[in-house]
Amino acid sequence: MPKVIAVVEDEPDILELVALHLKKAGFRVEGFADAGGFYRFISTRVPDLVVLDLALPDADGIDVCRYLRGEGRLTHVPVIMLTARTDETDRVLGLETGADDYVTKPFSPRELVSRVRAVLRRSGERSGPMRLIRAGPFELDTEKFTVRLDDRSLDLTATEFRLLELFCRSPERVFSRDQLIEGVWGYDKPVIDRTIDTHMRNLRDKLGPAGDLIRTVRGIGYKLSLPV
């Protein structure tokens, strides 16, 4: 069954162009000219990936991304932001909000399709033989994108989930910021140290007291240190 890609873009020509190339690549496409139509769609359906324009007529794409990351059944859905904004602050804000990739206009439709495939591939790598990961008080299901801490469930964004997954797969290993960027986004991402630190702070806050298990290794990066 083909993957379903939701494209939220208010410029008809761009929406048609993106949809055409994604369909040629074998994807099923659901197109929306505004946030309202997209919200109605996701009230009953969960797409495999969202291509999201930031400048929508009825909402800011950043707010739409925040909604996806805060909605339990949608928080794992990858998001690629598509926008004419080129300012670094906008890129950083988009990634800190939980976007998985960021493509600026004008863009190559073939490159966008390639990025869609890459993001889906990274997401798909989380299902398989090591679907369940247990480390200390954490239990992660990489197929359902669920996390349990002791006896309670946690609502994490896709980025926070991937960070915790890296740590839980290799407790006590020290990850540099570059290694975290490679593991979560890939090196083609416009990610800076501040972005990593922001996600780490948010992850620790959601973990509560267990957040202290993620240690900062000064001058290097972070590691998950489990009690003996």
Please report, as a single letter, which amino acid is at residue 73: R
Please enumerate in sequence order all residues whose Cβ is within 8 A of that of 152, keeping only pairs 6 or more positions apart, or say none.
none
pLDDT tens, residue by residue, 116-136: 998 888 776 554 445 788 899
Number of helical H runs and strand E runs in the chain: 8, 12
In 10 A of CB 102, how many CB atoms? 22
Residue type for position 60: D
What pairs with residue 140 in β-bridges?
133, 147
Q: Which one is the CATH code of 132-224: 1.10.10.10, 3.40.605.10, 1.10.10.60, 3.40.50.11540?
A: 1.10.10.10
Fold classification of 4-124 (topology level)? Rossmann fold (3.40.50)
How confident is the model at residue 51, as a pLDDT? 97
Q: In what order do the strands lie in the sheet with 49-53?
A: 28-32, 4-8, 49-53, 79-83, 101-104
CA 146/CA 120 separation, integer angstroms: 18
Q: Do 90 and 60 form a contact (C-beta atoms < 8 A)?
A: no
What was the pLDDT predicted at 91?
64
For residue 150, which amino acid is it? D
Give SS3 for 84. coil
Q: Single out the residue of 108, 87, 137, 105 nearest to residue 11, CA to CA.
A: 105
| pLDDT computed for residue 213 by the predictor | 95
Buried b (16+ CB within 10 A) or exposed e, 113-150: bebbebbbebbeebeeeeeebebbebbbebeebbbebe
**How many CB atoms within 10 Å of residue 101?**
24
Q: Helices 35-42 and 61-70: crossing angle, nearest 10°?
A: 10
Q: SS3 for 213? A: helix
Q: Which two tokens stand for residue 207?
A: 């973990």
Q: Which residues of the chain have pLDDT under 50?
A: 127-129
Q: Where are the domains of the chain?
A: 4-124, 132-224
Query: Residues 56-81: pLDDT tens digits?
Result: 999 998 899 989 988 878 888 899 99
